[in-house]
Amino acid sequence: MSVSFDHLGVATESGADLAETFETLFDASLVHEERFGGMTVRFLDLGRGYFEILEPHETGTISQFLSRNGPGIHHVALRTADLDAALNRARDAGVELVDEEPRPGAWGHDVAFLHPNSTGGVLVEYVDGASAASE
């Protein structure tokens, strides 16, 4: 099973402003925007991966994250060609899973998260490369 970098999720109260900043600083281009799960999600293409900007509109995971931590990095996402195998490998390694099974994510991805208690404090998201609309 191999994985590759897919995106870095960044939580903010002002997604449009942060997208503009990243476009200016990193020559990143906005390639996808949608409302999903009570937030606006924006993907900016960096060439070999994306920034995913998460801006909440309702109370939920991202608004709670912002209340606790302020704006900043929320998660790192790794693409895998076999999400079920990746989850089984994590499970076999004793990793605490946020998602026991894949679930729908933004931009047509199936995703599953690994709990930061098992990954050095980093919230890790697996993105199923087979379901990814971003290819």
pLDDT tens-digit series, residues 86-126:
999 999 999 999 999 999 999 999 999 999 999 999 999 99
Q: Structural domain tally of the chain?
A: 1
- Residue 134 lies inside a defined structural domain of this protein: no
- Residue 59 lies inside a defined structural domain of this protein: yes
Give the CATH number for residue 93.
3.10.180.10
- 3 state SS for the chain: CCEEEEEEEEECCCHHHHHHHHHHHHCCEEEEEEEECCEEEEEEECCCCEEEEEEECCCCHHHHHHHHHCCEEEEEEEEECCHHHHHHHHHHCCCCECCCCCEECHHHCEEEEECHHHCCCCCEEEEECCCCCCC
- Residue 9 lies inside a defined structural domain of this protein: yes
- Residue 32 lies inside a defined structural domain of this protein: yes
- Residue 69 lies inside a defined structural domain of this protein: yes
- Residue 135 lies inside a defined structural domain of this protein: no
- Residue 92 lies inside a defined structural domain of this protein: yes
Are 5 and 78 in contact by the 8 Å Cβ rule? The answer is: yes
Summarised one tens digit per residue, pLDDT across range 58-69 is 999 999 999 999
- Residue 121 lies inside a defined structural domain of this protein: yes
Q: What is the mean pLDDT of the chain?
A: 95
Which pTM does this prediction carry?
A: 0.93
Structural tokens at position 134: 């971003």
What domain range includes position 69? 3-128
Is the pLDDT at 132 greater than 80, yes or no?
Answer: no
Residues 6+ apart with CB under 8 A from 121: none
